[in-house]
Amino acid sequence: MALNEAYADRTLSAYHTDTTTQIGLAPQFGDLRLDHATRRFLLLVAGAFALLRLWAIWAIPFTDTTEARYAEIARKMVETGNWLTPQFDYGVPFWGKPPLHTWLAAGGMQVFGINEAAARLPILMTALAVLWLVFIWVRHLVGVNTALVATVVLGTMAMFFGAGAFVMTDMPMVLGTTLVMVGFWQATTGAEGGRGWGYAVFAGLAIGMLAKGPVAVVLSMIPLVMWLALTRNWQVLGRLPWARGMGLLMVLVVPWYVAAEIATPGFLRYFLIGEHIERFLTPGWQGDLYGSGHQEAKGMIWVFWLAAALPWAIAPLLLLARPVRTLGAFRHDRSGWLLYLLLWAISPLVLFTPASNILAAYVLPGLPAAAVLLVVMCAHVFGSAPRRPAKAGFATAAILMFVVFGGLAAGAVFAPQTLRLKTDKALVATARSARPDAPLYTIGARSYSAEFYSNGKARALPASDLARQVQATAPAAYSVPPDMVAQAEGAGLENLGAYGRHVLFVSPETAEVE
């Protein structure tokens, strides 16, 4: 607390003692008072969840559709050596997202081989970077105990833990938006190293633009503009290194966007208009080149947040049960930090409330702020020295979450058939063993997991072409949906059993090419 108190003493003297927001004041919230046993338990929780996540990235197979698709795009990048344009299929560009997450996953596989852990490890590193940013920021502003609790809360939130090593775009983008928000506060409030944090703002925007595109900028600008407007402190924008910062942003971002448009004309129109406007505002959007829109009722993003924040989603309800102290904390916070956190936390909800095509993962950018805000507010409202019921409730929630995640992970590894896990890893392995040199056809639709585990050799075959392919007499393996089992058996194929959602058939061993 010495650093925080010194910072507060230095800045308090420069401002009048009224209740308006005064930029430069340190947040006046005392650190949590935790005994040794509580700190040890928190470290134990963090370690247990970390070990579970490390085991899961190695043991759980890629599942369709999202993670297997992005993993296969990254595998194709390694195979083809084309690091400029992610490929949805061989020779087919993937315009849906920028390449940062693909570069990360492909880089991991380039170094450690083609496997799940290699693709997931770089994504996990981005999640750890987010946790580190949150920890050092809260430790500086409030104290080490509060920082520890906030980091554990964030790391054990359902969506953050699940997405923390999931091969997709969202966690790299969260690193970008978190760097923007932490950097902006530090750069504009007179904190030590403010100039460096100013450059971090633009570096964070660049990460977001390369991870998911302009939506990352919007998710950062919503809370920043609202906070500046509500606190009437627009003058702090002058503390950012605009010229050099924008230069850094342009150097990091523009070359890839220009090169991508040159390599595959039409990319910018589809990505900027289709993916960022039409996808969210057009119900049942049919322009998706790589799947279909995820149509939900407008406002569903708030329900997604409640699920994503489990087991800590109950904390806002506990705070609302004490409205006087809760609202009083915001009124008397002359630094504006609580408002800053609140606006950051709800920015994805504000943006996606009117959207029709959304996913639960869209709440992720606000979770770091939500974790910090909930911990700081609970300490303020219920006391900085947690009592036994609070400790018991926290421990129960953390342990239950660990049991749930551990059970799901164990089921995915040891009983994928029972869970009907959407993966073709075991099917591909059996097909290779039964017919080592035969092609594998997935009947009816693409299976990205089959493509990944077959090193791109699995090919989709329309259901109407099954009979024709079998009659070609070339030995082959077939991944068949359950409703086509009778047709496959009638064609004389040998049934090797069900593997999750598909049934594996192979041509009789006597089938040979003349």
66-80 vs 116-141: helix axis angle to the nearest 10? 110
Contact of 197 with 186, CB cutoff 8 Å: yes
Q: What is the pLDDT of residue 92?
A: 95
Give the predicted TM-score (pTM) of the model: 0.91
Q: 458-462 contacts: CB < 8 A, separation 24 or more?
A: 458/424, 458/428
- Report the C-alpha gap between 459 and 447 in whole angstroms: 8
Please, which residues have CB within 8 angstroms of residue 297's CB and are 6 or more apart in sequence? Answer: none
Which tens digits make up the pLDDT trace of 473-482? 688 999 999 9
Q: What is the pLDDT of residue 417?
A: 78
Name which of 42, 41, 51 is nearest 409 in CA terms. Answer: 51
Cα maximum dimension of the chain: 93
Q: What number of residues does the chain have?
A: 514
Assign 493 to helix, strand or coil. coil
Please give the C-alpha separations between residue 84 and each of 53, 81, 410, in angstroms, as whole numbers.
30, 9, 37
Beta pairing class for 87-89 and 92-93: antiparallel
Q: What is the pLDDT of residue 345?
A: 98
Report domain extents, the chain.
Answer: 2-386, 425-506
Assign 346 to helix, strand or coil. helix
Region for residue 157 given its phi and psi (left: phi exceeds 0; alpha: psi -120 to 50; beta: otherwise):
beta
CB atoms within 10 A of CB 260: 20
Q: What is the pLDDT of residue 93?
A: 95
H helix and E strand count, the chain: 24, 7
Q: What is the pLDDT of residue 473?
A: 65
Q: Could you give phi then psi for residue 498, rounded to 5 degrees?
A: -90, 140
Which tens digits make up the pLDDT trace of 44-94? 999 999 999 999 999 999 999 899 999 999 999 999 999 999 999 999 999
Positions in the chain whose pLDDT score sits under 50: 1-19, 511-514
- Report the C-alpha gap between 463 and 390 in whole angstroms: 57
Q: What is the pLDDT of residue 400?
A: 96
